[in-house]
Amino acid sequence: MSHETFKACIEACNACVIACNHCAASCLQEPDVKMMARCIALDMDCAQICALAAAAMARDSEHAKAICILCADICEACGAQCAKHAGHGMAHCQACAEACNACAKECRQMVSMA
pLDDT of 86 over the 90 cut: no
Q: How do residues 14-70 score in pLDDT, each as one tens digit? A: 999 999 999 999 999 999 999 999 999 999 999 999 999 999 999 999 999 999 999
**Sequence-distant (≥ 6) Cβ neighbours of residue 112 within 8 angstroms:** none
The mean pLDDT value for 93-109 works out to: 97
Report the mean per-residue pLDDT for the chain.
94
pLDDT at 1 exceeding the cut of 60: no
Structural domains in the chain, sorted by start: 3-113 (1.20.1270.360)
First to last CA, the chain: 8
The alpha carbon dihedral of 49, 51, 52, 58 has a sign of positive
pLDDT, tens digit, for every residue of 2-17?
Answer: 667 899 999 999 999 9
